[in-house]
Structure 1
Amino acid sequence: MDGTLVDSEKLWDVALQELAARYGGSLSASARAAVIGTSQADAMRIVHDDLGQPQRDWRDSAAWIDARILELFRGGLRWRPGALALLRAVRAAGVPTALVTSSTRPLVEVALDTLGRDSFDAVVCGDEVVAAKPHPEPYLTAARLLGVPIARCVAIEDSPTGVASALAAGAAVLAVPAEVPLPPTDGVHQLESLTGADLELLAALLGEPPA
């Protein structure tokens, strides 16, 4: 979701830097990049370590971030280039589609006002799985909810954590970097943006002709 479908990572920048300022510090660029695509618990621990305050309870920080992000999300979300067109094409073709995100359900519910609640047959949030990305559980859960083998799924990701999760699950992976560069990875097709991406490309990633 964040950075793949909608351009929300900049809103996370605002919230994370405000949190760091509340704690009397400033979040480094390397720490900001490291939290992209991670679970809430891991993200807050990265922030705390970066600020030299590892003793803080990640739950307290996560609660503050959630409240602030909800405010920012309600101000509106912008689509990433090509994302809406591809999502519409997939839905028009009747392809089962799931949203797999590290964000929590309350944030996702607000984002769905932009994304469309009928855009997905299943939604898997970061607080609804035991093991978050980069563990394969989120994508395996999505495939199970869709009722399709994971090997027949194409995952579209923008972060190293998400790519690792999808690969570990056994999905084909289309990587579209947003805020952080993605190194070339065996088995991962990479594009600069989703502009021009279509059903034929997704089918090709599975080694099949389009349905």
Structure 2
Amino acid sequence: MLFDMDGTLVDSEKLWDVALRELAAEYGATLSDAGRKALIGNSMADAMRILHDDLGQPHRDPQVSAAWIDARILELFRTGLRWRPGALALLRAVRAAGIPTALVTSSGRPLVEVALDTLGRDSFDVVVCGDEVDAAKPHPEPYLTAARLLGVPIARCVAIEDSPPGVASALAAGAAVLAVPAEVPIAPTDGVHQLDSLTGADLELLAALLGAPPA
């Protein structure tokens, strides 16, 4: 099992929204709703470029903006991280069944370490962070890396995602994909099963996505 983090397991996109809009205000501008949606699921480097373009300030240094966001989001994660509906129950069921499990996120390691205080450090056999791969989502490398570290063929993995870049990454890697849109819609796509939430998702569904009977 390959789980995305932001917007999939935890309702953190609202916290990112706070940080991004605060940074825009620091720059004397306002992040548009379209710009905010375009940021979801991207690596930090890509997100900062999108942010600066949306603010009409492409001259801004992405590293400076990323450092500001990192510091603010760490504060917000420590106090305001909440599970997405059904996510904790599904993760517990997967772990109880002994299924190899990875967290595959575009967030950087320092932030993920804080999130793991909520998610549980024993919830995953492998954690792949956005700052630990050469190419971030929507490139397939994060999911291919997770499958390799788990020792499981990617074709035998189900990836759960909430954003278009994440879905594109998982599909390109060759995983079965369960999409649970959070902040932005995901267009109907061959090979992608969509649910409104993870409430009610179970091992039988995951097995069906792989075309196999449940264990």
TM superposition score category, shorter chain reference: over 0.9
Structure 2 residue 46 is the aligned partner of structure 1 residue 19:
no
Corresponding position of 1:177: 181
CA contact (8 A) 2:15 2:80 kept: no
For residues 148-187 of structure 1, what are the structure 2 equivalents within 5 Å?
148-187=152-191
Report SS of the residue matched to 2:80. Answer: coil
Report SS of the residue matched to 1:155. Answer: strand
Report SS of the residue matched to 1:189. Answer: strand
Pick aligned residue for 2:151 from 116, 122, 147: 147
After TM superposition, the score normalised by the length of structure 1 is 0.99
Pick aligned residue for 1:128 from 132, 140, 149: 132
Cα deviation per residue 1:13-35 (whole Å; 9 max; x = unaligned)?
Answer: 00000000000000001110011
Gaps of 5+ in 2: none
Corresponding position of 2:34: 30
CA contact (8 A) 1:139 1:165 kept: yes
Cα deviation per residue 1:70-119 (whole Å; 9 max; x = unaligned)?
Answer: 00001131100000000000000000000000000000000000000000
For 2:38 and 2:89, how far apart are their aligned partners in 1?
29
Residue 199 of structure 1 and its aligned partner are, at CA, apart by 0.3
For residues 184-203 of structure 1, what are the structure 2 equivalents within 5 Å?
184-203=188-207
Runs of 4+ in 1 over 4 A off after TM superposition: none
How many equivalent residue pairs?
A: 211
Report SS of the residue matched to 2:115. Answer: helix
Cα deviation per residue 1:36-81 (whole Å; 9 max; x = unaligned)?
Answer: 0100000000000001110111000000000000000011311000
Pick aligned residue for 1:83 from 80, 84, 87: 87
For 2:133 and 2:38, how far apart are their aligned partners in 1?
21
For residues 81-120 of structure 1, what are the structure 2 equivalents within 5 Å?
81-120=85-124
CA contact (8 A) 1:76 1:114 kept: no
Corresponding position of 2:67: 63
For 1:97 and 1:35, how far apart are their aligned partners in 2?
26
For 1:76 and 1:112, how far apart are their aligned partners in 2?
13
Say which structure, 1 or 2, has more relative contact order (CA 8 Å, 6+ apart): 2
For 1:67 and 1:101, how far apart are their aligned partners in 2?
18
Corresponding position of 1:5: 9
C-alpha RMSD of the superposition: 0.4
Gaps of 5+ in 1: none
CA contact (8 A) 1:154 1:206 kept: yes
Q: Percent identity between the aligned chains?
A: 88
For 2:80 and 2:14, how far apart are their aligned partners in 1?
12
For 2:80 and 2:97, how far apart are their aligned partners in 1?
28
The residue type paired with residue 116 of structure 1 is G
For 1:202 and 1:189, how far apart are their aligned partners in 2?
10
